[in-house]
Amino acid sequence: MAGNTEWAADAATDPELACPTSSVVDIVFSRWTTPIMWTLHMHGRQRFVELQRHIGTITPKVLTQRLRQLERDGMVVRTYHPEVPPRVEYEITDLGHSLAPLFAHLAEWAATNLDKVEQARHAYDTDPPQ
């Protein structure tokens, strides 16, 4: 009980504690994480260039940064093959695969609601609030 009181007091002053999903949102929904995770989920193990080709508009620098972060977060595993020339492959981990139901729910929400979002945007843009 006392732990809950302390948490509630901390949550009142720390927005990240008030919304415990914020760290998950930071991990999963940063700009390029979703396309990377989706590509690895759909196509399996990928070399860097294959991954970049599937995503299309991502720069090599940004792809490298996101892959390192995803590896650090335990979502992706990087496998180095010491051959000539060296080969590196990326693969989604079991932890990364555990996000599949979350993405399935989001896809379902999008299919159901994105038209409503577009209608709301159109209404707002047509007659913006004063």
Mean pLDDT over 85-90 rounds to 93
Query: Which DSSP state fits 83?
Result: S
Give the total residue count for the chain.
Answer: 130
Hey, is 8 helix, strand or coil? helix
- pLDDT of 31 reads 83
Question: Which has more confidence, 112 or 2?
Answer: 112
- pLDDT of 12 reads 60
- pLDDT of 10 reads 60
Say how far apart CA 60 and CA 10 lie, in whole Å. 40
- pLDDT of 23 reads 77
**Edge-to-edge strand list for the sheet holding 46-47:** 46-47, 87-92, 76-81
Question: Which has more confidence, 110 or 30?
Answer: 110
φ, ψ for residue 111 (rounded to 5)? -60, -35
Structure confidence at residue 18 as a pLDDT band (50, 70, 90): low
